[in-house]
Every structure is written in C-alpha cells, then in structure tokens.
Amino acid sequence: MTSSHAADRGTLLILNGPNLNLLGTREPEIYGASTLADVEQLTTAAAKAAGFSTTCLQSNHEGALLDAIHAARGTAVGIIINAGAYTHTSVALRDAIAGVELPTVEVHISNVHKREEFRHHSYLSAVCNAVIVGAGVHGYELAVSYFAKTLA
Ligand code: DHK
C-alpha cells in the first residue's frame, strides 16, 4: 500500500482488484500499456491537483479488498474501485461498499459492454455513485474529477 499526504480535502482510497497488478503486460490490446504504478501515479497526481491525498492498494484477494473498504470508513472521503473480475461475482464487495456509506466510483479500463456477456453485469454498479467504463486508464482521472466536483 502506498500513501500520499499532500492535501487537505481528505483521502481517496484507490482500490484495484485481481490481475490489475499485471497491467502493462496483460492483454495490452484490451488494457493498454500503462502499468499499475503508472495508474496509481496518474491518479495520485490528479487527486493532488484537486486537493486530495490518496491511499492506493491492489490485491488479488477478495478479503483484502473488503478489509480496505471497511478501513476506509473514517479515514477516506471517497473510494475509486476497479474490482477486476470480482465486479462480476462479488456480493461481498457490493455489501461492503453499501455498508461503509462512502461515495464510490466504479472504474473499468475496458468497455466491458463491448466484451463477453458475463462482463456486462456488475454487482457493484447499483451501490456506486458513478460508473466509468472504456475510457482506458484515463477513467481513474475522471473518477478523481467526479470527487473534485461533488465533494465539499
Ligand atoms: C478488469 C478486469 O480484470 C476484468 O475482469 C473486468 C476490468 C474488466 C477493466 O476493464 O478494467 O471484466
């Protein structure tokens, strides 16, 4: 986990789920050339420019993602989550997001709606404030922009 503490509008939790540690080498025709480190850096830079700090976590383990969402209550002002394949399977992540009552933006690098049918349904979308798909890694910056506009 990495943190940056340059600002005072509060902390955004940037959560990436399974296989997103492989960004840069994983199916680049779908996910592009940026690495996870690039994504965390660009998101943190956008957050900093808008007055937020970030806590970035990637995990391949559902429980670790749940623990991070729970820990965000009281420590973060919002969550940006790309839950990877857990998006399409995890009622537990959905319940965690609903449970902590923090504004949350769901991001997918690829346009999941242009892909296999099993990627068309997200358990998370109904409990998220906004959903950004298909904008590539720029989607994370758009999510920061959402918080910049909507949070006090
Ligand atoms: C990332 C994944 O790992 C997939 O399982 C999702 C998402 C799509 C993305 O586009 O960022 O289906």
| 124-137 tens-digit pLDDT | 999 999 999 999 99
CA 33, CA 23: separation in Å to the nearest integer?
Answer: 7
Length of the chain as a residue count: 152
Cβ neighbour number for residue 18 with a 10 Å cutoff: 17
> Ligand 1: does its nearest atom lie under 6 Å from the Cβ of 98?
no
Whether 109 lines ligand 1, by a CB cut-off of 6 Å, is yes
pLDDT for 16-31, tens place per residue?
999 999 999 999 999 9
**Which of 108, 111, 116, 123 is the best mutation target for the ligand 1 pocket, counting ligand atoms within 8 Å of the beta carbon and taking the most?**
108
* Nearest ligand 1 atom, CA 20: 3
State in Å: Cα 8 to ligand 1 middle. 31
3-state secondary structure the chain: CEEECCCCCCEEEEEECCCHHHCCCCCHHHHCCCCHHHHHHHHHHHHHHCCCEEEEEECCCHHHHHHHHHHHCCCCCEEEEECHHHHHCCHHHHHHHHHHCCCEEEEECCCHHHCCHHHCCCCCHHHCCEEEECCCCHHHHHHHHHHHHHCC
Query: What domains can you pick out in the chain, each with its CATH number?
Result: 2-150 (3.40.50.9100)
Q: What is the pLDDT of residue 152?
A: 83
pTM: 0.95
β-pair partners for 106: 81, 131
Give me the residue label for tokens 């099993």. 118
Q: Establish whether residue 112 lines the binding site of ligand 1, counting it when its CB lies within 6 angstroms of any ligand atom.
A: yes
For the Cβ of 19 lying below 6 angstroms from any atom of ligand 1, the answer is yes
pLDDT bucket at 100, cuts 50 / 70 / 90: very high
**Span 49-84, pLDDT tens digits:** 999 999 999 999 999 999 999 999 999 999 999 999
